[in-house]
Amino acid sequence: MKELFPLKQVMGFAFSLVLTVVALMVYFTDMSYTMGMTVLLITAFIQAGLQVVVFMHAGETKDKRSIYVNIYYALLIALITIFGTLLVLVWDM
Amino acid sequence: MKVDNSLPLEYSTEENNLKILGFWIFIGAEIMLFATLFTAYFTLENRTGNGPTGAEIFEITPVLIETILLLTSSFTIGLAIHAMRLNRKKAMMGFFTITLILGTAFLGVEIYEFTHYVHVGAGLQTSAFTAALLTTLGTHGLHVTLGLFWGLFILLQIKKRGLTPETANKSFIFSLYWHFLDIIWIFIFSFIYLKGMM
Amino acid sequence: MKLKMKWILLTMVITITTVLTACEPLLVLDPKGPQAKTQADDIMLSIWLMLGIVIVVLAILVFVLLKYRASKQPKDYEPPHIEGSPIVEAICIGIPILIVIFLSIISVDSNYKVEATPEGYEDQEPLIIYASSSNWKWHFSYPEENIETVNYLYIPEDRAIEFKLYSYGPITSFWIPQLGGQKYAMSDMVTTLHLAADQPGEFMGRNANFSGAGFAENTFEVTAMTPVEFEEWVEEVHETASPLTSEKFEELLEPGHLGRSTYTGTHLEFSPAPEHDHGSTDNNVEEDSDIEDHETHDEEDHSNH
Amino acid sequence: MDFFDRFAVPHPSFLIYAAMVGIGLTMLAVVVGITYFKKWGYLWREWITTVDHKRIGIMYLLTALLMLFRGGVDAIMMRYQLAMPENTFLDSQHYNEVFTTHGVVMILFMAMPFIIFFFNFLVPLQIGARDVAFPRLNALSFWLFFMGMGLFNLSFIIGGSPDAGWTSYFPLAGNEFSTSVGTNYYMIAIQIAGIGTLMTGINFITTILKMRAPGMTLMKMPMFTWSAFIANVIIVFAFPVLTVLLAMGTMDRLFGTNFFTTDNGGMDMLWANLFWVWGHPEVYILILPAFGLYSEIIPTFARRNLYGYKSMVASMVVISILSFVVWAHHFFTMGQGPLTNSIFSITTMAIAIPTGVKIFNWLFTLWKGKIQFTTPMLYSILFIPLFTLGGVTGVMLAMSAADYQYHNTMFLVAHFHNVIIPGVVYAMLAGMTFYWPKIFGFMLNEKLGKWTAWLLTVGFVLAFIPMYITGLDGQARRMYTYSESTGFSLLNMVSFIGAAIMAIAFALLVYNIYYSIRYSPRNIGSDPWDARSLEWSTHTPVPEYNFAITPQVASTQAFWDSKKNGHELFKGDIEKIHMPNNSGLPFIMSCMFFVFGFAMVFSIWPVVIVSLIGILACLVYRSFEQDHGRYISVEEIKETETRLRGAKNEGR
């Protein structure tokens, strides 16, 4: 905690740059739609998780459980809303 | 006021703890806010009417600059909090200032991007797709703008009052907000720009 | 005392309603076609099942109220502390689960039935009718017969009919209760409703979805007749009615109410139904490749998720 | 002159002018009255600037009651219009405005503040806290809600009411088909109130998670607090959808975007879809706290603990998630494929399972009890069979194929009134009667209360059961008239009689309040019902700081244990108590929101910009403000405690 060099932050930053580059492969190389979406989904969610854990210190207090449940719940409802709506309005019309 | 010295300054009072948890729950609500915008965007993505499609108007260069700027600013605000926890006021304020400068630069590029869209005939009223696109980007941009003012005021307060439990708490919450905006940008970058240009 | 009053009133209401229903069957429960029959059967089945549940709950409630009311208990009676029993609670969850599973199976099965050509009519070619709404009228186009009617609908009995629904304005809902349930008509896509009448007769049809000031009177009459009569009517129309021009059609679209009218030709020729193509109609006319692009995109979307 | 034309009501009639004069005179009377009795200072110090959760709660209650009557008048007008075929009491435009405002007012400006009143008043008391987590935010929530409510009601006399239904489906609600500013009011007033509600949600989740009394683990919270917690979770995740949706609707109407229009790729069904993504969870936001209140009242008067506490909690958690996966059942008939309909049909029916568990738990709570028929209990007992009826018709509606026949008919109208009235309205009236002594220090008259409950029930049955039948007979909802030949007239007349009886019941409620203020005894102690949870352990009236000593909790019914099992609630000595300061900022900021909203409705851009700057200035002021609250000294607490007759042992 008290060390001067912010190793955690630097590692986090480096890793998110790497993930951005991986995501960019979707643009610069010629891959199929499915493949591309898979890459984007993986890189985006890992990066988001990285921010929450490394930079936002989500797990550092005794409210850890409330915070994580809150995030997971929001994520669940968000995904239900997005995919549910697409199912209703686009895929099954 | 009870001050608990075993925890970092921003957690030191009961009120501070409440504010941090409250802000996390606000972030939960913000996730839903952006999820709704994404829902609208994905639904209307191909409904371009007479207007251009995403592939026709997106440009990789400004988007990439914006991404790097915001990613770096997320890093520097992390460093600011790190410095704050080491009680280094000067370093903290320095990183905080850099964050705000990077944020302003991001906003500048985004404004350029918007004028570009309007210039190529993809205004707010052009089609359902452009409306959803500009609203989603605009909402994020508005958050960044508000964040810049908010950050500036916190910076002024730290300068005037030093690192107190109150200012430390405000700075920490601001950092949560800023990281969250970065997360949203990652999703915009991946599922609006890259998906659209793929 | 008061309890009795309530029951007297309740029984009164129930008697009145049963008398009423006995006189004249309710439209929805008096089906004249296979789709409406499926729905009416589902409704009756669920009514009986649900009545059973209500009676069980009511019986338990009346029982505990009569048995455990304070006036029947000794003064010093202290009710026990009971946390709950896993077995009792499991039963309370289990039975509803079984009922829900049972109803789900019926619901899913019926849904596929009403979304397909009516049962027993699969072998014949369905009659296609485009039904479009405008404020506050219904336009019926018979593309094969080359006829268009306003605010009334003639259909042959014992033949599957495929309605293609869309709207020149707010969302409306096409509903002929005795032939089957409703479906929305919207301005940017065409929806399909499968109906059939298994006997001749006159039925009420209306827009069921609120669409503004003239909504209440947004009705039409449906007449089911023998195929021979239908053919005769088609011929008669061709002999007597005037052709539908695009000017005339524009006039018909003006907001307001109209009586019945009949034309030869349909508006589909000059004002085609919307295509379900994500709204990029104009684009596609110029660049054909665009259509394919979108479609393949969509399919990939499917496979991806 | 053109500029002022917009402010005129587009379809004026005698009724509207009369209402304008009436509203004007009432306002004048209120202002003159307050000035005459020199109450402005009192009003400002004690109410407008208050951050006390109890007072904010009471203001929510007053707003809710006011809106109950506003919405009730709408209801009676509708039923009277339909009582006879081809009635000319209202024309179609008026009828459309009336049912639109009836829906919005009842759901958003009556039921919502009513439940938020209970959150505010009860949650801190039930968990043994001094206030909510963010008292100022709480005041801001209320004033934003209040201004939203005010703005919405203003539409009636300036510019015209919205007329596209409470669901405001596009394109009907778009510029093309709704030319008056009514729908602008809808978009912006609900937006302002909705932001307030969202903040309430954040506030109460934090309060419940962080401010519980020592020993009160999550599974030892009173059931109402649990229900409030779950409802607020739903608020936090559902209301942002509404925020975005209304913003998009506003942009379509004011800035010419094409989200929901019929050309340039706009998609009208996206509105319906997102509306119900918010709208369905919204009904659970209303019903869960109602369930919570029944779970407080039934054990109190069955004189037994709540049966199946754990399954009650579990069922609410399940409902909170299921409520987000059923929205498409509001438009089974949109033309999506049978696969989608099947999925949403099954998820919808699945909600009946946790709801059924709750019904059975209440029944088993009565079992082996010692049931007292007080007014709140009477409502709770009447609720069980009536709500079951509403619930099972809900299952019927969930069957997608059959729904093709129920959709948009009076059957549906009967169903949702059948769940909302016995579910929510009864709970609110029961809860209000139950907690009235805690809030105001005297009881409502029991005899009048029971008459109200019975009249309401008779009226309800007469008003809504016939709708099930007319619905199956083909009467669509929202029809302002019908012809004699349809055969709907007799049953609609019965409905009107029922509605009139309900109106009498509500009038009786008002009389009861008046009567009880005058004649009810005031020396009732702090626990008149011999109740079970923590809120009854403090004094009546509740002191500003709620509890002189923070209570120690060891079970779900701490107060009952302290009365019967020798559990000691208040250990230790009185210490000085930290309380927040009052603030006028929430009120001032909300006033600016009101001006902003009004200017937006009429597109008066300079005012929009000025008020927006004003709002931001308030935020800046708040950011720089240093306010660490104040302390109530030990002496002052002791004095208050003595005045309220000797602290701890009171109420035993």
The domain that contains C215 carries what CATH number? 2.60.40.420
d(CA D567, CA D545): 23
Mean pLDDT of A61-80: 92
The verdict on A36 and A66 lying in the same domain is no
pLDDT value, residue D479:
93
The verdict on D508 and D604 lying in the same domain is no
Kindly list the residues from chain D whose CB atom is less than 8 angstroms away from the CB atom of residue B24: none
C136 and C255 Cβ atoms separated by less than 8 Å? yes
Which residues lie below 8 Å from residue C234, measured CB to CB, with a gap of 6+? C142, C145, C147
User: How far apart are the CA of B25 and the nearest CA of chain D, in angstroms?
Assistant: 6
At D379-393, the pLDDT tens digits run 999 999 999 999 999
The verdict on A64 and A50 lying in the same domain is no
The verdict on D441 and D396 lying in the same domain is yes
Mean pLDDT of B8-16: 84
pLDDT value, residue C7:
62
Q: Are strands C161-167 and C127-134 parallel, antiparallel or unpaired?
A: parallel
d(CA C222, CA C209): 18
3-state SS assignment for residue C147: strand
B102 and B68 Cβ atoms separated by less than 8 Å? no
- CA nearest A88 in B: which residue? B43
The verdict on D594 and D483 lying in the same domain is no
For residue C44, the enclosing domain spans: 34-74+85-115
Residue D333 CA from chain centroid, whole number = 30
pLDDT value, residue A57:
82
> With an 8 Å Cβ cutoff, is A29 touching chain B?
no
At D504-536, the pLDDT tens digits run 999 999 999 999 999 999 888 889 999 999 999
H-only helix segments in D520-569: 558-564
d(CA D308, CA D259): 47
Residue A30: pLDDT band with limits 50, 70, 90? confident
The verdict on D140 and D286 lying in the same domain is yes
The verdict on A25 and A67 lying in the same domain is no
The verdict on D39 and D89 lying in the same domain is no
Report DSSP state, residue B164.
Answer: -
pLDDT value, residue A92:
81
> With an 8 Å Cβ cutoff, is B38 touching chain A?
yes
**Buried-exposed string C179-201: b where 16+ CB fall within 10 A, e elsewhere:** bbbbbbbbbbbbbebbbbbbebe
pLDDT value, residue D297:
96
D394 and D323 Cβ atoms separated by less than 8 Å? no
The verdict on C98 and C150 lying in the same domain is no
The verdict on D252 and D119 lying in the same domain is yes
CATH of the domain at D311: 1.20.210.10
Kindly list the residues from chain D whose CB atom is less than 8 angstroms away from the CB atom of residue C210: 96, 164-165, 169, 172, 408, 477-478
pLDDT value, residue C19:
56
pLDDT value, residue B5:
65
The verdict on A33 and A47 lying in the same domain is yes
d(CA B172, CA A48): 18
Mean pLDDT of B40-65: 91
Q: Which of D108, D69, D110 is nearest to D506 (CA)?
A: D69
Hey, what domains does chain B have and what are their CATH numbers?
9-197 (1.20.120.80)
| D97 pLDDT above the threshold of 70 | yes
The verdict on D134 and D215 lying in the same domain is yes
H-only helix segments in B4-88: 14-44, 54-57, 60-85
> With an 8 Å Cβ cutoff, is A85 touching chain D?
yes
Mean pLDDT of C242-250: 91
Average pLDDT, rounded, for chain A: 88
Query: Which residue matches tokens 């011999």?
Result: D530
Opening angle at CA C249, ends D476 and C182, nearest 5: 25
The verdict on C155 and C92 lying in the same domain is no
The verdict on A47 and A4 lying in the same domain is yes
Average pLDDT, rounded, for chain C: 84
Residue B3: pLDDT band with limits 50, 70, 90? low
Number of domains making up chain A: 2
List residues in chain C touching A: CB distance below 8 A: 189, 276, 297-298, 300-305
Mean pLDDT of D581-589: 94
CB distance D349–C107 less than 8 Å? yes
Number of domains making up chain D: 3
Q: Which of D544, D522, D439, D412 is nearest to D130 (CA)?
A: D544
Task: State the ipTM, two decimals.
Answer: 0.91
The verdict on D642 and D504 lying in the same domain is yes
C173 and C185 Cβ atoms separated by less than 8 Å? yes
**Buried-exposed string D372-402: b where 16+ CB fall within 10 A, e elsewhere:** bbbbbbbbbbbbbbbbbbbbbbbbbbbbbbb
Q: Hey, what are D389's tokens? A: 């009826």
Report DSSP state, residue B194.
Answer: I
User: How far apart are the CA of B7 and the nearest CA of chain A, in angstroms?
Assistant: 9
At D393-422, the pLDDT tens digits run 999 999 999 999 999 999 999 999 999 999
Of D364 and D645, more confident: D364
Q: Is D127 a member of any domain?
A: yes
pLDDT value, residue D628:
84
D391 and D355 Cβ atoms separated by less than 8 Å? yes
Q: Is D576 a member of any domain?
A: yes
Residue C5: pLDDT band with limits 50, 70, 90? low
Q: Is C150 a member of any domain?
A: yes
Mean pLDDT of D590-611: 95
The verdict on D596 and D537 lying in the same domain is no
For residue D19, the enclosing domain spans: 10-48
User: How far apart are the CA of C292 and the nearest CA of chain B, in angstroms?
Assistant: 13
| D109 pLDDT above the threshold of 90 | yes
CB distance D623–B33 less than 8 Å? no
> With an 8 Å Cβ cutoff, is A4 touching chain B?
yes
Which residues lie below 8 Å from residue D114, measured CB to CB, with a gap of 6+? D60, D61, D64, D68, D424, D428
Q: Which of D114, D426, D435, D423 is nearest to D296 (CA)?
A: D435
Query: Which residue matches tokens 């809710």?
Result: D64
pLDDT value, residue A4:
73
The verdict on D248 and D369 lying in the same domain is yes
The verdict on C154 and C213 lying in the same domain is yes
d(CA D346, CA D506): 38
Residue C6: pLDDT band with limits 50, 70, 90? low
Q: Hey, what are A22's tokens? A: 């991986």
Kindly list the residues from chain B whose CB atom is less than 8 angstroms away from the CB atom of residue D247: 135
d(CA D21, CA D25): 6
The verdict on C58 and C142 lying in the same domain is no
The verdict on C167 and C253 lying in the same domain is yes
> E strand or H helix at C140, and its extent?
strand C137-142
User: How far apart are the CA of C268 and the nearest CA of chain A, in angstroms?
Assistant: 22
D600 and D608 Cβ atoms separated by less than 8 Å? yes
Chain D interface mutation, best of A89, A90, A93, highest count of D Cβ atoms under 10 Å: A89
Kindly list the residues from chain D whose CB atom is less than 8 angstroms away from the CB atom of residue C26: 469, 472-474
The verdict on C89 and C190 lying in the same domain is no
Dihedral, CA of residue B58, residue B64, residue B65 and residue B70, to nearest 10: 110
Q: Is C298 a member of any domain?
A: no
Chain D interface mutation, best of C8, C107, C203, highest count of D Cβ atoms under 10 Å: C107
CB distance D277–A63 less than 8 Å? no
Contact residues, B window 44-103, toward A, CB-based 8 Å cutoff: 60, 64, 67-68, 71-72, 74-75, 77-79, 81-82, 85-86
The verdict on C62 and C159 lying in the same domain is no
pLDDT value, residue D651:
41
The verdict on A32 and A6 lying in the same domain is yes
The verdict on A31 and A17 lying in the same domain is yes
pLDDT value, residue D58:
96
pLDDT value, residue D643:
85
d(CA D111, CA D149): 12
Q: Is C22 a member of any domain?
A: no
Kindly list the residues from chain A whose CB atom is less than 8 angstroms away from the CB atom of residue D209: 63, 66
Query: What backbone phi and psi angles, to 5 degrees, belong to D324?
Result: -90, -5
At C62-107, the pLDDT tens digits run 999 999 998 888 888 888 888 888 898 899 899 999 999 999 999 9
For residue A89, the enclosing domain spans: 60-93
Number of domains making up chain C: 2
Query: What backbone phi and psi angles, to 5 degrees, belong to C205?
Result: -130, 150
pLDDT value, residue D652:
35
- CA nearest B16 in D: which residue? D133
Kindly list the residues from chain C whose CB atom is less than 8 angstroms away from the CB atom of residue A83: 305
The verdict on C140 and C109 lying in the same domain is no
Query: Which residue in A1, A51, A66 is closest to B182 by CB distance?
Result: A51
Q: Is D4 a member of any domain?
A: no
CB distance C280–B128 less than 8 Å? no
At D604-631, the pLDDT tens digits run 999 999 999 999 999 999 999 888 888 9
Q: Hey, what are A38's tokens? A: 């898979």
Least confident range of A49-58, B148-157, C130-139: A49-58
Average pLDDT, rounded, for chain D: 92
The verdict on C108 and C138 lying in the same domain is no
User: How far apart are the CA of B22 and the nearest CA of chain D, in angstroms?
Assistant: 6
Chain A interface mutation, best of D325, D330, D332, D348, highest count of A Cβ atoms under 10 Å: D325
Least confident range of C55-59, C188-192, C279-283, D549-553: C279-283
| C299 pLDDT above the threshold of 80 | no
Percent of chain D predicted with pLDDT > 70? 98
pLDDT value, residue D567:
85
CB distance A77–D336 less than 8 Å? no
| B54 pLDDT above the threshold of 60 | yes
Chain B interface mutation, best of A7, A38, A39, A51, highest count of B Cβ atoms under 10 Å: A51
Report DSSP state, residue C207.
Answer: E
Total CB pairs under 8 A between chain C and D: 294
Q: Hey, what are D452's tokens? A: 């109200």
The verdict on C154 and C244 lying in the same domain is yes
Q: Which of D196, D226, D201 is nearest to D59 (CA)?
A: D196
Residue D564: pLDDT band with limits 50, 70, 90? confident
At D161-178, the pLDDT tens digits run 999 999 999 899 999 898
The verdict on A32 and A77 lying in the same domain is no
pLDDT value, residue A1:
47
At residue B196, what is the residue type?
Answer: G
The verdict on D601 and D508 lying in the same domain is no
CB distance D340–A81 less than 8 Å? no
The verdict on A77 and A46 lying in the same domain is no
Against chain B, the chains showing at least 3 CB pairs within 8 Å are: A, C, D
Between the CA of residue D27 and those of D39, D69, D460, what are the distances in Å? 15, 17, 33
Q: Is D361 a member of any domain?
A: yes
CB distance A33–C297 less than 8 Å? yes
- CA nearest C189 in A: which residue? A93
Query: Which residue in B46, B47, B48 is closest to C297 by CB distance?
Result: B46
User: How far apart are the CA of B128 and the nearest CA of chain C, in angstroms?
Assistant: 9
The verdict on D34 and D173 lying in the same domain is no
d(CA D130, CA D119): 14
**How many helices, marked H, and strands, marked E, lie in chain A?**
3, 0
- CA nearest D616 in B: which residue? B146
